[in-house]
Amino acid sequence: MKRPRRIGFWLQVSAPAMLRETQARFADALLGRDSTAAELIRAGALTPARRLEIYRHNVMTNLRGALRDIYPVVERIVGEAFFQHAADRFIAETPSRSGDLNRFGAEWPDFLSTYPHAVELPYLSDVARLEWVWHECFHAADADALDLARLADVPPDDHAGLRFRLHPAVRLVASAYPLLRIWEVNQPGYGDDVAIDWDAGGDSLLVRRDGNDIAIEALPHGAFRFLSALSCGAAMEPAAEAALAVDAEFDLQGFLLESVQSAVIVDFERGTP
């Protein structure tokens, strides 16, 4: 009779069992989806159920902590108990698929948009989206600034087909709510008036890394539409047309120069409009 194969110090796989199946059952147990997985664990000073409980506690604590680190504004708005309840459900439905906790939580904004207990906070998922792109910008790669001399060398007839590339640490967020104001009044140490004008309209935000900090600024609708089109691969001419369609006063030349100087735009390639 073959002895059970040990995985680590206390998880065991019976001879006919497949390792993948055992690992899947153990993962389900950590998320509370398999109440029979204790049978996979060797007895010792602690019972198998107690060993599994300790391991599950550590996993859940780490995943909750990752969400708290990325989404502190959401937690500040809803409170610790609400946040933990939502986090536990999210973790069970959307477990981590990477050993890098910095990648965990991307689906949290979508989760909050359908979370029944957040129905009275319709802006909450947009706050979470802003926090996630803040997190992405912080960890994004760097890029050299664009040399304006390269642009000057492009013949005027080729300008319409230029395709500009945004800095890897640049993101765009649109919301039907005053998102920047919501963000500001929920920052640690904020001591000014916390009133929010819910009739102020939505925000079009540019999020970018500025040195060691992350800057968030509201953009005019035309500028936002222009950068959004560029980020989707549009050439300069159709991107400018999209911007002018929502803002007849959009200053293409001025905004393009400003975007290059602030390293929002860092590269380009020639093509057709």
Question: Is-contact 188 135, C-beta < 8 A?
Answer: no
Task: Annotate 232-260 with b (16+ C-beta within 10 A) or e (fewer).
Answer: eebbbeebbebbeeeeeebebeebbeebb
pLDDT at 111 over 70: yes
Contact assessment for residue 130 and residue 108, using Cβ atoms and an 8 Å cutoff: no
Domain residue spans of the chain:
43-104, 140-269
Residue with tokens 């439905």: 93
What's this model's pTM, rounded to 2 decimal places?
0.85
What is the model's pLDDT at position 58? 84
Alpha-carbon gap, residue 251 to 220, rounded angstroms: 11
pLDDT(44) > 90:
no
Higher pLDDT, 50 or 8: 50
Q: Is the pLDDT of residue 5 over 50?
A: no
Given a cut of 80, whether residue 47 has pLDDT beyond it is no
pLDDT at 155 over 50: yes
Q: Are 111 and 93 in contact (CB under 8 A)?
A: yes
Q: Which CATH number fits domain 140-269: 3.30.70, 3.90.930, 3.30.750, 1.10.3470?
A: 3.90.930
Structure confidence by residue, pLDDT tens digits, 89-100: 999 889 888 888
Asked whether the predicted pLDDT for residue 12 surpasses 60, the reply is no
Q: 86-125: buried (b, 16+ CB within 10 Å) or exposed (e) per residue?
A: bbeebbeebebeeeeeeebbeebbebbeebeebeeeebbb
**What is the per-residue pLDDT for 99?**
81
Q: For the segment 195-233, what is each residue's pLDDT rounded down to a tens digit?
A: 999 999 999 999 999 999 999 999 999 999 999 999 999
